[in-house]
Structure 1
Amino acid sequence: MGRGLISGLIWGAFVAIIGAALLSLGMPLPDRPQQGQATPQQASEQPAVSVEPAETTDAMPEAASVEADAPEAAPATGQGTASQPASEIPLPAGSEFNRPPEETAAALPGIDTAPAGAPQAITALPTPTGPSLPDTAPAPQPEAMDSLQAPSAAPTLGTPVASPSATLDPSPPVAEEQPAPLGLPQIETGPEAQTETAPLGRPLQPVETGDAAEPDAPRRAIDAFATPFDAEESRPLMAVILIDDPSFPLGRDALTRFDFPVAFAIDPRRPDAAEAATTYRAAGFEVLLLAEIFTEDTEPAQAEEVLTRGFDRLPEAVAVLDTSEGAIQGRREVLDGVVEVLAETGHGLVAYPRGLNAAEQTATRAAVPAATLFREIDSERERATVITRYLDRAAFAAGQEGGVIVVGHTYSDTVTALFSWALGSRSEAVALAPVSAVLTR
């Protein structure tokens, strides 16, 4: 019941508001008074206007009051009459309030006069000056003479030359005495010290240098038995060493057909070591001594004796190749003894990668040409295609390091891979060189 009462009150209020709005819209609007007219209520409530001017210094009346009469009523319009505002209000004497300006005679504006010092008109243009023209007038010709006499001697340096029109003197000029140069001592030599003048560009006596000065001077083995190679080759160098394996049936005739430098490492303990070395040397290949002669029982003091026996079997070897087990590099005492002997004989040293590569470091300090192998390309009897990829990697490393050495064996797959890779385009990036060129570069 309470909810119904509240909702009834709300709806009643809403209906009442809507009804009031409709009723206000239906009633007519009141007439709007015109401009300048006032409603009757405003006219009846308008008070009389009184003006009391302020005191002035002039003799003005002390007070003045003006009562504005109400204007006449306007004709009835049904809305009442409207009163008009006062338009004329008397002002005290001397007041300038709301007075119109005095009328003066109209005058036309004058004409602007030209400024003083007007620019003068240009009556003549300046003549342009062009570049000066070259003088094309012919040069003055010398006057011809009836007879000329040739001078007996050419004019010396510093003698003024007479003009063509001057008379030539037939007598030769007298040479003036020139002072001797100062600061250069004169060396008196006897008749035995005088020699004939040598031809231009050739010394009086040949200069003896190198082997000509000392014909008995010993040469390093690596220089004496090295294969010729172009020293001006600028490409990275890559050398290949093949360990001659007598157990493999590949003959020496096939191994000597390489058309690029290859070095062969030979074990001097073999019965045919000297014969194999002679065959490879005759074909133009280098020979290395394989360090298989160094066993575990070899003492450091025996290093010189062992190397001497090995070089007697391979007299034209250029270097010593260490074994993969490190027969030389594995023992410090043996390494020091071997390096000392190689420094005297002039052979090089090539070792397998091992730790900090002590063999190369020790040999370099002793001025022995040495290098560390880049890798063994057939340690597991790889196929020819795999060996070719190893050679590509070695060529890339040569481009970074300037020169590398790889080692393999006289296996058929290794020889086939070498021939195939040498014919490919990858080999053009490097120069296949002898081992001695890489060691001494």
Structure 2
Amino acid sequence: MNVPIDLEAFAKQFNDQTYPKITNAFGNPSDLDNNGKVIILILDIRDGSTPNGAYVAGFFDPVNQFADGIALPLRSNFGEILYLDGKELVASLSRDPTALASTAAHEFQHLIRYPFMQQSQTLDDTWINEGTSEVASDIAGFGPQSYRLECFSGRDSSRCPNGANGISLLTWLSSSSSTTVLKQYSMAYAYMRYLYDLSGTTESERNAFFRRSVQGTSSGIRANNASQLMALFRETSRYQTSLLGSTNPEAFFRTMVLFFGQSSGTNAYSQVNRIAQDLTTINTIDLSTAYAAYPFESNLSYLVNNPLVTVSGNLSLRTGSAFNIASDVNLADLTNKFENIGLVKNATSSASRSTVIWGAYSSTSPLTSVRGFAKAEEPSPRDKYKSVFENPNPLGHSSPMCGTVFIDEKIHNDESILIEQPSSKSDNTP
């Protein structure tokens, strides 16, 4: 197809800027075809898109990591390939000059990461993989992701009504609406960006944290789930056990409280309430020193100036989610109580506001309510690993891959977790 862009300039930018920055952070890509190259194929991705609608702007397809007819009856290009859309994505460059380069950086992280997933025989949680790819675009020089932060805060009300209120960081569903998927990506980006910033005082220290999360340590720890991510985060140079705790669950709870409190504009960190293990006791902990040590840095300053919108009414709370509530809430009044539900209130404004956070990454009863909302069925654990490209979905594509989708000229990314090696593949270009 005829692509109306300067391909040589794009290739030079990828070669001179994106490639060294991403490999410095995550390590070198594999070289299955022994050509020492990453191929970027720009094509019209046939995704059934309509004008001003959703479309697939790019993807990394794990099937290309396997040779034709060796272990499985595959049709594979067997090499390091990034696919970028040459139609809608290229057309968007008049509005966002970094769209093509940012998409390439996002997909490049997936390409580098996948062989380590395969070697360790682990399925990395979607929110970690996708959140890391979102930050990868920042690392390559194309951030911060302002559209993500607008969505997270709910300021992009047409696409992200109520923002990240009630959206679980941890549970990604293949049946999610495009609005929910967009919010999930926004939350994964913002939280992973926060951890990246907290992990070191220099770019080298921060990149070392991300590299270990992708490649793993000598003891085999990779960031394939929240617990493993926290184990690696606790080993970073800026981590202070006295402020963030000595266990993985404690680190997750405290970083979630600091993250959601700052992004919601609630700041009474000296009196953070927390439901204890007996589900009756409400403890008070002081995180004011932790907040002073770990404030949002400039990349997340948008959320300081434009905090998460407040909501009211019956609100269902999942693990790894929060609500910024437009009233004075007390944990003792919750209909259902679970360990590590926390509360931060507003200490500097006359307006009543409470941020309720379930800072836990596991629970025997993973769905409860803030105000008497009935319990709902939780999806099966493996559902969070499914690709949203599996049918049925609006785009009608069935192959497991990472895709970057734009809706109404705003970018968001669809998840890229391959459940297992595909038994067949017949629709990719040979």
Per the shorter chain, which TM-score range? under 0.3
Q: Greater share of strand residues, 1 or 2?
A: 2
Q: TM-score, normalised by structure 1?
A: 0.18
Comparing both chains, which one has the higher relative contact order based on Cα–Cα distances under 8 Å and sequence gaps of 6 or more? 2
Q: TM-score, normalised by structure 2?
A: 0.18
Q: Which has the larger radius of gyration?
A: 1
